[in-house]
Structure 1
């Protein structure tokens, strides 16, 4: 898709492994399973010709072991694209292992020096395994894959990827311009509302936080609270917090936040943004009763049943909740994140999931060929059909249009109409650190929401944690 605003804040990195990625953190998919696919040649050492479109390539090793996260996007796409690849590359044999807890399955193999050849890792529970591979510099350099042609005689593969993605920390984690993590599906995140209700009542979508809070009385008149969120997983609140940080303090403030600068927690940006969270917690009818004790599906169902006017979520929302009960006539509406002042544009957060090839993969050459194959138009379309996902490539939303809902398509296209996207990734902490920045930042917000902690107390706590992290980095010689 030709986009005017995608990754506007290119210096900020794409959120790589939020707990929201593909609704990975809370997915209730089937247990782990492996799917060995039939090979046209039983010998792993045999050579094979690539498909005519990719030239006559020979692969000394014909076996490819692929491990994928089985989250909100399911696994059908992976099984199908593997079959297609084997047909186009006669003699190859791909074995797919899929699980919501994929990290538990691959960790022993990685430790033993026998990792899968190719991995798609997502979901907060699986994040540490990927972070560990980054810290250990145990991922294969994929720069040549993206600098090379997408197809024989064609333009470089990197030209197909959405602007800013390969340059961000989520793809180039060491800041040296080299790509170690390949982008997969991307999502757009922010606040959602019932479009039917807004249309019937003649309500305007709030463009600022003041307009958001002004709707509290309307919400009460219509028998609902103003806001709810996935209480047991406060990381969902980043979808409004991160854009708000940028709205108030710009790129400088966002860099402070993600680069673990303790001074962020003494800034006016922090006080304004987290002040909104405290306002939601304390104002009458702003936060739906019982929110803090709800998991993601419970909070999302309550919202759809008309118990709250707004909820944060991403573009997978509608498909994930396709069978959930809802109030009559309910339609998904997306507004992104309101601005702090009327002179600022509406914003939305984005995240990109990642695919990697371990440095110790037994078959890196076939793994790289498989990676390239995933970016073909055929694969982009198949991914939309089977998983309802949209790859982080130009034009993907239009390719996927016939397989995703109109409202989801409109969310992706809304960025072209002026919604500014913002994104980021936390700087890596020292190896062996007890701190996980995302958990440290977002989990304590529950204490603000249940009025057990003030914003000032939270800020003091975070200042100390960020300071401790910086001390650890200095001791380890990792300070940038």
Structure 2
């Protein structure tokens, strides 16, 4: 891992501004950001299109890459850049690689001046707001990349090698693809098989069994759950698929679409009350409301709590404190009861680590070509081995010995089949998801400072206010 631990979490999740960091620019900032425009005069000449160069990359042009300095580190990107230099030898020594945790602070002046990089891993606390970038026409349409032949099999387009839903995630209102999510994240309830075995237990497939196991653990001095109370927008990683499981996928679609009273659906109420019961019965690790993601993961690794809501980046991010015999695993949420609309195994999985090519980039073809290389099997396997995470390439793990958490994530995906949900709230409305729903309501409820009914009422108001705010670009499921 190549970053400060507190910013090592993954992307797809994009750190909040809750502690004073800038997650969403102000309106004036966004206007300034949009002023860069698309100056074709700054662009390098295109190269000659061929079977080996399907995107017509200028084979001697410089390439400027900026990667979020997070839990995945830098090596995977540098290794892909080395492959780029092999494919286009005249670019050797001309590839500029930069890493930062402060994406917006570093890159906004470059957007303002019309000199953005050619490829950006737009993640972290200071992730630039996608809705605004799209609305202000600041991004390159990645359709040429998706329609280009894959590195491994020229008979297949890149789009045909990707996992289900990845292409759609990069779209807004069904329009061109602006974002390519490189990692593929499995969200859910993470646990240690070893620690469950100590209690002679397996993962509880029903909520009643979950409560019974938490009670059993409590008698042994172990908490049932912990979570990063300073970043409570982790709770949805297991809570949102729980809501979908209870009420059906249309419940999350209505929430994403900012429909009136979407948060007042009975499935939301049932899910919130179930989680609140964990607090009421004392099944949450004391002090959790004050923990960061790293601190909560460390407590979990130390066996102080059985379960934690998280994403599949956790295996790499927490590896320094994970015991050798931990047997990390992930499961879909437990069933509430037999009336649930979706089966046990329903899980949230989606693209993570969002890459963009600015419209004003000097070498957009080079940026897309580097992504094409990254989506090849060689780069994918390199990524998997380095950081214990899947990529958006459908496959890429053949012949690899997967660590326990990643193997479990693969198994969870297989078990889910078509019962995979992908809430878009965190992509479309970053401030609503993180600062308002997460910090302003879920964190308060899980700390016992707000009842489920109060949390739902507050969240519904947040959603309604966002829906009425003309300054916020709105998106809907197709």
TM-score range, shorter chain: 0.7 to 0.9
1:334 corresponds, among 330, 334, 337, to 330
Question: What pairs up with 1:7-406 in 2 under 5 angstroms?
Answer: 20-21=10-11, 25=15, 53-54=52-53, 59=58, 62-92=61-91, 93-123=94-124, 125-151=125-151, 153-167=154-168, 170-176=169-175, 178-283=176-281, 285-324=282-321, 326=323, 329-342=325-338, 344-353=343-352, 354-398=354-398, 401-402=400-401, 404-406=402-404
Q: Judge conservation of contact 1:50–1:90 (CA < 8 Å) in 2.
A: no
Aligned to 2:411: 413
SS in 2 for 1:68: strand
Deviation at 1:437, TM superposition (A): 3.5
Aligned to 1:461: 458
1:426 and 2:416 are equivalent in the alignment: no
* Residues 1:464 and 1:336: Cα distance change in structure 2 (over 3 Å): same
What is the alpha-carbon distance in structure 1 between the residues aligned to residue 472 and residue 296 of structure 2? Answer: 42
* Residues 1:47 and 1:428: Cα distance change in structure 2 (over 3 Å): closer
Q: Judge conservation of contact 1:227–1:308 (CA < 8 Å) in 2.
A: yes
* Residues 1:427 and 1:186: Cα distance change in structure 2 (over 3 Å): closer
Note the residue ranges of structure 1 that are not aligned, 5 or more in a row: 1-17, 27-43
Q: How does the TM-score come out when normalised to structure 1? A: 0.82
Stretch of structure 1 that moved more, 335-344 or 451-460: 335-344
What is the alpha-carbon distance in structure 2 between the residues aligned to residue 269 and residue 236 of structure 1? Answer: 19
Q: Judge conservation of contact 1:68–1:120 (CA < 8 Å) in 2.
A: yes
Deviation at 1:341, TM superposition (A): 2.0
SS in 1 for 2:425: coil
What is the alpha-carbon distance in structure 1 between the residues aligned to residue 191 and residue 344 of structure 2? Answer: 19
Q: Judge conservation of contact 2:54–2:148 (CA < 8 Å) in 1.
A: no
What is the alpha-carbon distance in structure 2 between the residues aligned to residue 79 and residue 477 of structure 1? Answer: 35
Deviation at 1:184, TM superposition (A): 0.1
What is the alpha-carbon distance in structure 1 between the residues aligned to residue 127 and residue 346 of structure 2? Answer: 26
Q: Judge conservation of contact 1:46–1:61 (CA < 8 Å) in 2.
A: no
* Residues 1:318 and 1:148: Cα distance change in structure 2 (over 3 Å): closer
Aligned residues: 434
* Residues 1:452 and 1:243: Cα distance change in structure 2 (over 3 Å): same
SS in 2 for 1:334: strand
Deviation at 1:339, TM superposition (A): 2.0
Q: Deviations over 1:292-318 (max 9, x none)?
A: 011112111111222112111222222
SS in 2 for 1:240: helix
